[in-house]
Chains A and B, each alone.
Chain A
Amino acid sequence: MNAVECPREHEVVAVVLSGRWPEGCDLALRDHAAACAVCGDVVAIAPALRQDQRLSDVQVPAAGQVWWRSAIRARADAARQAAQPMVWLQAVAGAGAVGAALAGVGMMWPRLQGMFHFLPFTAASLQEPMLLLTGIGIVAAPIAYYLALPRE
């Protein structure tokens, strides 16, 4: 036997939880508990915890109510999950639309540049910023779309 555990601890706990401590249990076990540090601690706290467990006012909801609430929640979760692929499809479509719009602007650029010849830059100087903007748009559009959607 060491200070951390005692082989008779379970026996003492069983006697306490059955309500036979101290009068209803045999003298040898009481003597042991009086001499053993582990079992001494156990009998100092276990009867009060057992009483607390036994006498506490517990009002749990009916089983049917818990089942019903769980079923409603499962349905709500299932509906949310079923809607998720559609959200992603819409996000991909949104990204495609942004990409197509930017590609359209790129194809039209020589003509547009002619219309805006008074501007202080050329098509060649805008090629890199346009590519960069296209890339950012393709990445950011689905993310922005996803963040903008309501969670519930």
Chain B
Amino acid sequence: MAEWTLSDVERLSALHDADRTFQMTEDAFRAFYELTARPVWLYLARITGDRRLADDLLQEAYYRFLRTTTTFESDDHRRNYLFRIATNLAHDNRRRPRMQSVPVDDAERSLPAATENADQVARRLDVTRAMSQLKPRDRSLLWLAYAQGASHEEIAERLGLKRSSLKTLLFRARRRLITALGSTSPKERRS
């Protein structure tokens, strides 16, 4: 039988307690994850423009969320905190050298739904292409405000911005998207 050193004992004790340091139980995590994973993944995919990166950042975001020692006042606070982690991860990632990416596919996004007509499909494709030309912060703002319907308070909390400057930032992001739409949409170009 191998002899045990003090270091081994310390490590085993640490291993045993590792997932007890998570800030919620597995059942609570499953419920929270079911509610948040899809919007968080979509948010990451849209602001990074890379599906594979969104997969990696999703895992990292939940890991950091589970390890946090923050006390949450409400479910909204918890959800906003998770989005804040996701936002920071996406921003940090931009500063690192890029690995091979798997871009969010325009063709896949343009698949028409049964309820969509051709104009709606074309418009959706124009908007998503124009979004990809914007700065990441503008993409974050517009996606949270108009795809996820987050309130200004929620957006400020999720992006770490001041509430007072949010309206102006959102206004500018909207204008930039409208301008980008003008340069990407064939209909707009013709007119």
Q: Residues of A at under 8 Å CB distance from B?
A: 3-5, 10, 13-14, 16-17, 38, 41-42, 44-58, 60-61, 63-64, 66-67, 69-71, 73-75, 77-79, 81-83, 85-86
State whether A49 touches B142 (Cβ < 8 A).
yes
Query: In B15-30, which residues have CB < 8 Å from any A CB?
Result: 15, 17-19, 21-22, 26, 29-30
Question: B22 contacts A81, CB within 8 Å?
Answer: no
On whether the beta carbons of A60 and B37 are closer than 8 Å, the reply is yes
Please determine whether B147 and A50 come into contact, CB atoms closer than 8 angstroms: yes
Q: Could you give 27 example pairs across A and B, Cβ below 8 Å?
A: A4-B168, A4-B171, A13-B145, A13-B149, A14-B149, A16-B146, A17-B146, A41-B178, A42-B174, A48-B120, A49-B142, A49-B147, A50-B147, A53-B147, A54-B113, A55-B111, A60-B41, A63-B33, A70-B22, A70-B59, A70-B63, A74-B66, A77-B18, A78-B17, A78-B18, A82-B10, A82-B13
Task: Identify which of B75-83, B87-95, B121-129 touches chain A.
Answer: B121-129
Q: Mark B88-110, 1 if CB is under 8 A from A, else 0.
A: 00000000000000000000110
A16 to chain B, nearest CB (A): 7
CA distance A61 to B19 in the complex (A): 19
- Interchain pairs with CB closer than 8 A, number: 141
- Give the secondary structure class of A's interface: helix
Q: Are A74 and B21 in contact (CB under 8 A)?
A: yes
Is B7 positioned at the interface, with any CB of A under 8 Å from its CB?
A: yes
What DSSP secondary structure best describes chain B's contact surface?
Answer: helix
B135: interface (CB < 8 Å): no
Question: When the two chains form their complex, are residues B17 and A51 in contact, meaning their CB atoms are under 8 A apart?
Answer: no
For the side of the interface on B, what is the size category? Answer: 35 or more
CB distance from B58 to the nearest CB of A (A): 7
Contacting residues, chain A, for B7 (C-beta < 8 A)? 82-83, 86
Across the interface, which residues of A come within 8 angstroms of B1, CB to CB?
A: none
B residues near A57, Cβ cutoff 8 Å: 108
Bound CA–CA A53/B150 (angstroms): 13
Complex: chain B residue closest to A74, CB-CB: B18
Q: Which residues of B contact A83 (CB under 8 A)?
A: 7, 11
Interface residue from A44, A49, A74, A86 paired with B22 (Cβ < 8 Å): A74
Contacts of B120 in A (CB 8 A): 47-48, 51
Docked pose: A147 CA to B21 CA in angstroms: 30
B187 within 8 A of A: no
Q: Which residues of B contact A77 (CB under 8 A)?
A: 18
- With contacts A52-B109, A58-B38 taken as known, whether A45 is within 8 angstroms of B146 at the C-beta atoms is yes
